Structure 1
Amino acid sequence: MATITRDDRKSDPVINGVFDRPVNQFADARAVLRNDSLRQAGFRADLIERFGNPRFAPILFQHGNRHRAQRAATARFFAPRTVDTKYRALILKESGRLLTDLQATGEGRLDQLTLRLAVFVAAEIVGLTESDPAAMAWRLEHLFSQDAATSGGTVIDLARFVRAQGRMWHFFVRDVLPAQRARRAAPRDDVISHLMKEGYGPRALLTECVTYAAAGMVTTREFISMAAWHILRDEDLRCRFVEADESVRIEILEEILRLEPVVGTLRRKTPDGDQVYAIDVRAANTDAQAMGACPFRIDPARERAERVPGPGLAFGDGSHRCPGASVALLEAAIFLGELVRLPGLALAADPTLLWNPLIHSYEVRDFTVMCRREGS
């Protein structure tokens, strides 16, 4: 019998940091995110402002009419009909291939499988299709690794910066540049083709691709891994997930994501930069006034306040709400729906949980699962 003190969170022990002017209540946090007079202040926004061309700023850092026009122009890539008719088949195919490989060996790193899935799907949407997805996944994992973050001024920080620039260069040469060349010869229906039509050059394309990689690949990987951990550790939740149809699976996944948002802090600032608001997504998503009783429990049937979405603010809100939310949820629903049906599936051990200060995100690593080998 669950009690009011039950806390199902797994990521809480690794969360750290005190940020600017904290915003902890759901209603206040949503109001900040919906305030179009505020500007993006997270994800190294200061570097974009200092060195970037405002006309070609990544969509994450745009605002006002420019941002609205770009969102409208790229909305077709994430429209529900497109997700269902175009990406569903891709997700099913890649999930099947990855899980077939897992069954062939009887053991595998789930955090690596989820990365390969997320990279494959996002690469198709963005247009990074002229390089090997597995190799690109490796490059992106290292590009966004913990040692890419610097804290200021030391020799170690300088070494990290140089290493990060080298990784960025490899991503550009191996993944972005071939995609750009292919689309210059034959444009396609993807994000890179659209950006090239808008006049984006190599540097602007690289910056936008890195933004999409962080939002569509890295965070989706962590979300699916965290959801799998919860489902495999909770037999009741696992049974409910196995027996549910896709819509109910998505409700379960939204509830897990509410409790374990991948990006834990969203920052906004006033135009003059004098005031920075740091939205504590975890606190907002466990605000009992918005989420109902026992907000630290996983309860897909919880009675939330009116107009409060299932994942809370895990996908953001307002004009910068994550456009790929439906893609991430469908990926997770399909992949995990197939995974939990594998004969003999079990955790080898609990995974390691790390913290990435670059994007204020948890990282699920060393997530080894076992299953019955095919033919055994």
Structure 2
Amino acid sequence: MTPHFNPTDATFLDNPYPTYARLREEAPIFFYEPWGKWVLTRYEDVSALLRDRRLGRVLDNVRVSVNPAHAPFDAVQQGSLLELEPPDHTRIRTAVQDVFTPKHVRALEGRIAALAGALADALAARPEGEADLLTDFAEPLPVTVIAELLGVPEADRHHLVPWSKAIIGMFEPERTPAMEAAAVAAAQAFADYVRSLIAQRRGRAQEGDLISRMVALHERDPERLSESEIVANAILFLDAGHEAVVNVIGNAMVALLQRPALWERLRADPALIAGAAEEAMRFDTPLQFFERVVRQDLRYKGFSWPRGTRLCLFYAAANRDPAVFRDPERFDLTRHPNPHLAFGLGLHFCIGAPLARLELKHALRALTRLPGLTLATPPSYHPKNVFRYPKAVRVTFA
């Protein structure tokens, strides 16, 4: 029997975690008819299936347009690391992964710290002593970092957030026709823009930026990396490289400011910041679930899933599983170990995880500069299921 699970309910959207706890106990694996997909909520199952190579993002590395109107969107997604399995996934990941290694990312640390510090200082200088941490701090930081990494000119960066927000709407199971149309239009505009950057880089590569490196690789060996794959992955990096970080900063600050004693403890002891960043990703995971498709018939714990079956692996529910995390409903600044699944596992472990960790750490460090930082209003959340994040994080400070 299908358990009570209403992902459009306002109470659920405001706080899905009591529902996740009940599902872990009563129905850790069940079929949700309105989505036509299986839902899994326990850490053991999510972890195992993330690493199971019989699952993938798409069948046969091909994204099929169920709705012809979505064909332009699907064409842009084709060739993205997120949508590929080996050998294509390995080919493309090898071409770009050195830019996201911990060693390379550490070289960016000074720039990230300076950006976060400057944004916090700008807030501190406001005479009114109030702000929305999402638009005034959380968005500019990762957008600037990933845009500089890829080589997007400053004058064009204002397009990135609107395009990204529209595109991710297509991944929501409860999306509306208006969301779909916006996602298609944004994908087309974003792709056209990236193609214009590619044209600019041909023969005029800029030192160090990822689009220049991908273009150079394509010109040396078009079979190693096609132009459409450059487009798809530039969009992926720009979307994922800021969307998740914006949302985890927002979720982290809501969780901490709702617990003033923890926030003051963090301000008093910077050594706790790295642990706080990991705990924030576990406690209120921005990417609530990741969808996988069965690529070959699979039996799992008594369930028979034929090829084409779709699974929703709920990271957020797994990250509060008491079988793995002691006292999981508590935000613990010193939690260790903390094997959260916010970045996934296996083949599709987030390539940008080292960068996201660094950005969140320096965001928290910079915001501790603001004395008297307090939530001005309780947060309300976007009516979304894949991505969870507040509409605003309105704060006051001295």
Q: 1:217 aligns with which of 242, 259, 263?
A: 242
Q: Which amino acid aligns with 2:133?
A: L
Aligned to 2:120: 99
Cα–Cα, structure 1 residues 14 and 166, in superposed 2: closer, same or farther, change >3 Å? farther
Q: Which amino acid aligns with 2:245?
A: T
The structure with higher relative contact order (CA 8 Å, sep 6+) is 1
Q: 2:91 aligns with which of 62, 69, 84?
A: 69
Question: Which ranges in structure 1 are unaligned for 5 or more consecutive residues?
Answer: 1-8, 305-309
Contact 1:130 1:178 in 2 (8 A): no
**Distance in 1 between residues matched to 2:172 and 2:39, nearest whole Å:** 22
What is the identity percentage for the equivalent residue pairs of Structure 1 and Structure 2? 22
Root mean square deviation, CA, Å: 3.4
Q: Which amino acid aligns with 1:38?
A: L
3-state SS of the aligned residue for 2:162?
Answer: helix
| CA offset digits 1:59-92 (Å, max 9, x no partner) | 111112222232233221111121112x212212
1:119 Cα offset (Å): 0.9
Q: 2:390 aligns with which of 340, 349, 364?
A: 364
Matches within 5 A, 1:1-376: 11-12=15-16, 18=32, 20-41=37-58, 46-47=63-64, 57-85=79-107, 87-105=108-126, 106-112=129-135, 113-125=137-149, 127-132=150-155, 134-140=157-163, 142-144=165-167, 146=169, 157=177, 159-173=178-192, 175-184=193-202, 185-196=204-215, 197-198=217-218, 199=222, 203-245=228-270, 248-272=272-296, 273-292=307-326, 294-302=327-335, 304=337, 310=338, 312-357=340-385, 360-372=386-398
Cα–Cα, structure 1 residues 265 and 147, in superposed 2: closer, same or farther, change >3 Å? closer
1:131 Cα offset (Å): 4.0
| CA offset digits 1:170-221 (Å, max 9, x no partner) | 4345x52443234221244333233322345664433323322332111110
**Distance in 2 between residues matched to 1:138 and 1:267, nearest whole Å:** 23
Cα–Cα, structure 1 residues 30 and 362, in superposed 2: closer, same or farther, change >3 Å? same
Cα–Cα, structure 1 residues 290 and 163, in superposed 2: closer, same or farther, change >3 Å? closer
Contact 1:131 1:178 in 2 (8 A): no
| CA offset digits 1:238-283 (Å, max 9, x no partner) | 123213335x312112112112111111122222533322212122
3-state SS of the aligned residue for 1:364?
Answer: coil
Please identify, of 324-333 and 272-281, the stretch whose mean Cα deviation from structure 2 is larger. 272-281
Instruction: Give the alignment's TM-score, normalised by structure 2.
Output: 0.76
**Distance in 1 between residues matched to 2:184 and 2:56, nearest whole Å:** 26
Cα–Cα, structure 1 residues 147 and 316, in superposed 2: closer, same or farther, change >3 Å? closer
Cα–Cα, structure 1 residues 65 and 171, in superposed 2: closer, same or farther, change >3 Å? closer
3-state SS of the aligned residue for 1:64?
Answer: coil
1:168 Cα offset (Å): 3.1
Question: Which ranges in structure 2 are unaligned for 5 or more consecutive residues?
Answer: 1-12, 21-30, 297-306
Instruction: Give the alignment's TM-score, normalised by structure 1.
Output: 0.80
Q: How many residues align?
A: 347
**Distance in 1 between residues matched to 2:332 and 2:372, nearest whole Å:** 26
